[in-house]
Amino acid sequence: MNIPTGMIKIGHWTYCKEAENLKITKTIIIFMLSVLLLSACNSASFKEESKATINTVKTTFTEKVNKPNKRSGKIRFYLPSGYNIKEQSLNNIILQNGSDTYILFINPQEASSSEVVYQSTVEQYKKLETNEKFSNRENKVGFLTIKQLKEDSLNEVTIGVGGAKITTQIKTSDMNADSKTMMQIVNSVEYPTETKE
């Protein structure tokens, strides 16, 4: 039995090399298109999640402030169930919720209407994907910054009110849910304002 050029006979089967190569090429192209499509979906997901996060933070900022239930020195603040204080220093309180870590920073020289902590936060980044500042009827200044990080679709999220801010690294899919709790914590912070010298 004669085998045509480009064909291979194995046992009772005859294969065409070109057809096999075409299948491999198609598989590679489909895989590459899938990777591109997933990348585009992740980008859209960040846009949607950051938009929802902005709305959540602004809404939570205007809601009734939670009553403080924790104290660190002269600083009082609300801490939701499941959160605990891991470490404390003069201006920083490290909070823990499961495997998530949050840094609560307080500048006691700045009132809730101050923009100093907001400005210093923005200045530490070359580029922010989200940079929102807002205020309420009591002239409190609130803000939200989001910086996308390279590894594992993580984002560095900072939410602040006046002289206090809270920062963490959050997966894109968790930004909206975590941002509500973060605003509840930072918006509840009470501290005696020290006079500037």
pLDDT of residue 192: 80
Average pLDDT of the segment spanning 21-31: 73
Nearest to 92 by CA among 83, 81, 102, 82: 102
Question: Alpha carbon 182 to chain centroid distance?
Answer: 11
pLDDT at 155 exceeding the cut of 90: yes
pLDDT of residue 154: 92
pLDDT at 20 exceeding the cut of 70: no
Nearest to 16 by CA among 7, 4, 26, 25: 7
Average pLDDT of the segment spanning 108-134: 94
What rounded mean pLDDT belongs to the chain?
86
pLDDT of residue 151: 72
pLDDT at 43 exceeding the cut of 60: no
* Helix (H), strand (E) at residue 9: strand 7-10
Q: Is 18 exposed, middle or buried (0-12, 13-18, 19+ CB in 10 A)?
A: exposed
Q: What are phi and psi of 65, to 5 degrees?
A: -75, 135
Looking up tokens 């489909």 gives: 30
Least confident of 4-18, 33-47, 148-162, 178-192: 4-18
Percentage of the residues of the chain whose pLDDT score is greater than 90: 65
Q: How are beta strands 84-88 and 7-10 bridged, if at all?
A: unpaired
pLDDT at 97 exceeding the cut of 90: yes
Nearest to 145 by CA among 67, 50, 76, 56: 50
pLDDT of residue 164: 96
Collect all residues with Cβ–Cβ distance below 8 Å to 17 and sequence separation of at least 6: 6, 7, 8
